[in-house]
Amino acid sequence: MLVASIALVVRPVTDTDLWLHVATGRWIAEHGEQFPGNIETGLIGESDADQQRFENFANDAPCPALDPESGRCDVYEWRPMTCRVFGPPVRSVAPDGIAGGLGYCDLCFVGATPGEIAACEMKVPHEHEQAIIDGITEKGETIVAFALLPVVSSRNQ
């Protein structure tokens, strides 16, 4: 889950920050009309219809934090948990703490058996993420573009 803001890294404003501001704005302008939630807050809708639309929302669009020339993530040091665990098998955990299915990137495990995939499971310290989430007053699920928007906007003022 991404929350509606990412902690600011204390450092001077850089060209990368300016690039992120432009890239995030462009990404939202291009994909925002189809966003299955509130375009003003960046929060994903909670209805079944919104959740269903989210499953197919902008799946082929590159993340606005990826530098188009190098392919590198411009927020790598402070990327969200979703990005940190993309690829390896990770067990989802429901809000009630019950473990769910094992999600993984199909492209990383072409030809692998279910047993081989399960053997690669990455244990995620969900309790650390939860401690951070508990400290945030305005909560809700969002996507990287909306999570970055308040950060890059406040850094460029």
28-64: pLDDT as tens digits: 999 999 999 998 888 999 999 998 998 889 888 888 8
Q: How far apart are CA 26 and CA 6, in angstroms?
A: 19
For the chain, how big is the Rg over CA atoms in Å?
Answer: 17
Q: How far apart are CA 152 and CA 96, in angstroms?
A: 33
Per-residue confidence (pLDDT) for residue 150, from 0 to 100: 60
Report yes or no: 75 and 67 within 8 Å, Cβ to Cβ. no
In single-letter form, the type of residue at position 98 comes to I
Q: What is the pLDDT of residues 3-28, one digit of tens each?
A: 434 444 444 556 777 778 888 889 99
The secondary structure of residue 135, as a DSSP letter, is T
Q: What is the pTM of this model?
A: 0.60
